């Protein structure tokens, strides 16, 4: 039995900037109407996610997650345009595919995978 990604959550110092970045890079949709202070993220397919402002007493930590994409090169181009930074360029995983890592404008690392 596997353990597929079922939800992801971003804790951001600037949720509006975060929404603008991920909306541009991945085309994600956001819904602020469900709960005060919590934004639902619809990436276009399951799993969905959530976004909230980091509370002052929360540690500034990050969890790496990988998102399946069709074209890593296209995504990395959008990362630069959106104010992010490529951390690991498109790298081959022999007989599997490719991966890359980038940091969003707040420095949160994110992985992308292409079969």
Instruction: Give the residue from 80, 54, 50 showing the smallest Cα distance to 65.
Output: 50
- The model's confidence at residue 66, banded by pLDDT at 50, 70 and 90, is confident
The tokens for 40 are: 């639902």
Range list of H helices, the chain: 15-26, 72-81
Give the position of tokens 């991945």: 26
How many angstroms separate the CA atoms of 39 and 49, rounded? 9
The answer to whether residue 86 scores a pLDDT higher than 70 is yes
Residues 73-81 have a mean pLDDT of 95
The tens digit of pLDDT for each residue in 13-52 reads: 899 999 999 999 999 999 999 888 999 999 999 888 889 8
From CA 106, how far away is CA 32, in angstroms rounded?
A: 21
Q: Residue 54 CB: number of other CB atoms within 10 A?
A: 16
pTM (predicted TM-score): 0.73
CB 19 within 8 A of CB 51: yes
In angstroms, the CA 90 to CA 5 distance is 22
8-55+62-114 classified as CATH 1.10.275.10: no
The residues spanned by each domain of the chain are: 8-55+62-114
């Amino acid at each position: 039995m596997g353990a597929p990604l079922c939800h992801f959550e971003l804790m951001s110092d600037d949720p509006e900037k975060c929404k603008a970045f991920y909306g541009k890079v991945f085309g994600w949709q956001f819904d602020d109407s469900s709960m005060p202070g919590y934004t639902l993220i619809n990436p276009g397919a399951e799993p969905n996610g959530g976004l909230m402002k980091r509370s002052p007493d929360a540690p500034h930590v990050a969890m790496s997650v990988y998102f399946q994409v069709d074209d890593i090169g296209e995504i990395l181009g959008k990362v630069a345009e959106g104010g992010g930074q490529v951390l690991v360029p498109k790298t081959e995983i022999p007989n599997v595919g490719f991966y890359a890592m980038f940091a969003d404008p707040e420095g949160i690392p994110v992985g992308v995978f292409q079969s």
